[in-house]
Amino acid sequence: MGKVFKALNKAMSNPEESAPPPPSTPEPSVKTERPTPPRGEVTSTAMGSMDNTTGVNNWDEKLVAFSAPSSIITENIRHLRNRILHPPAGGPALRRVMVTSALPGEGKSMLCSNLAISMAQGLEQHALLVDCDLRRSSLAQMLAVDNSQGLSNYLQHERELGEVIRQTGLQKLSLLPSGPKPTNPAELLDSKRVGEMFDELSNRYDDRFIIIDTPPLPMAAETTVLAEQVDGIIIVVRWGRAAREQVRQMTENLKKDKIIGVVFNAFEKDILSAKLTGYEPYGHYGGY
């Protein structure tokens, strides 16, 4: 099942820990993901900006992998990244990874984004975030990227894949946003075009890792379908929300050999425990 990472939601929103550095004067355009993007891949953003000092502006403050690289939460995310790059059982790195949860509001999109940022900060990896939560998307807003065109347009044959991939402002991180909310998300994500899409995304670059945000598993039929397309699965459980039985049933509906681990989010640790573990400067934090 892998290690259980316990992160604190309060720490995520702590302005001293999470707020991005003050922006510098933005350049007129962002850097591209590759010197020559193939097939007309879009590399500019309609929102946000990039500069030489901070890389991006207007990102969500909870993206601590970028704004607070020395925090204990970011370090936990790096441990998770290492399990993807170097699976404990051996074998190749896990190129396609999906993040899901048992209930809405457990922090899966936040973890998904931070994991992709951490992956893109590696020396040899590029990351592509894919927002497959067509019912309740949030990645475009978190990363300050235009969501007027995206995955739903591609799946409905309205756009080609290269036309809907967006650069985020972080040089090696791209986003395939959800696009406009469709009336039939389950049917779109259960189509043959989804498999073709993931094959094309995987084969385009051999150093690209695809991190996929999916709807909560028990609440959307398409999440089980998407689980067949990936190499690894991360489950996010928020302290005090999903019941143990819900998580157990959820894991039984997935292939256990694909589960990388469970991230225990927003765990609150009392002051005495924090002093005993030596992590008092980080506030309420649950070790892993």
Asked whether residue 237 is assigned to any structural domain, the reply reads yes
Please tell me the predicted confidence (pLDDT) of residue 255. 87
Please tell me the predicted confidence (pLDDT) of residue 220. 87
For residue 60, what is the domain's CATH number?
Answer: 3.40.50.300
Dihedral over Cα of 250, 255, 257, 259: its sign: negative
Please tell me the predicted confidence (pLDDT) of residue 109. 93
Please tell me the predicted confidence (pLDDT) of residue 22. 47
Asked whether residue 148 is assigned to any structural domain, the reply reads yes
Asked whether residue 190 is assigned to any structural domain, the reply reads yes
Please tell me the predicted confidence (pLDDT) of residue 20. 45
Q: For residue 242, give its domain range.
A: 4-20+39-282
Residue with tokens 């190499």: 231
Please tell me the predicted confidence (pLDDT) of residue 267. 59
115: left (phi over 0), alpha (psi -120 to 50) or beta: alpha
Asked whether residue 31 is assigned to any structural domain, the reply reads no
Please tell me the predicted confidence (pLDDT) of residue 247. 84
Asked whether residue 47 is assigned to any structural domain, the reply reads yes
Asked whether residue 29 is assigned to any structural domain, the reply reads no
Cα–Cα distance, 174 to 286 (Å, whole number): 31
| Count of domains for the chain | 1
Please tell me the predicted confidence (pLDDT) of residue 266. 63
Cα–Cα distance, 6 to 239 (Å, whole number): 9
Asked whether residue 203 is assigned to any structural domain, the reply reads yes
Asked whether residue 33 is assigned to any structural domain, the reply reads no
Please tell me the predicted confidence (pLDDT) of residue 97. 97
Packing angle, helices 72-85 and 108-120, rounded to 10: 70
Closest CA to 109 of 14, 12, 11, 224: 12
Q: How far apart, in Å, are the Cα atoms of 121 and each of 55, 78, 130, 170, 200?
A: 12, 10, 18, 9, 23
- Residues of the chain falling short of pLDDT 70: 1-57, 266-288
Q: Are 220 and 135 in contact (CB under 8 A)?
A: yes
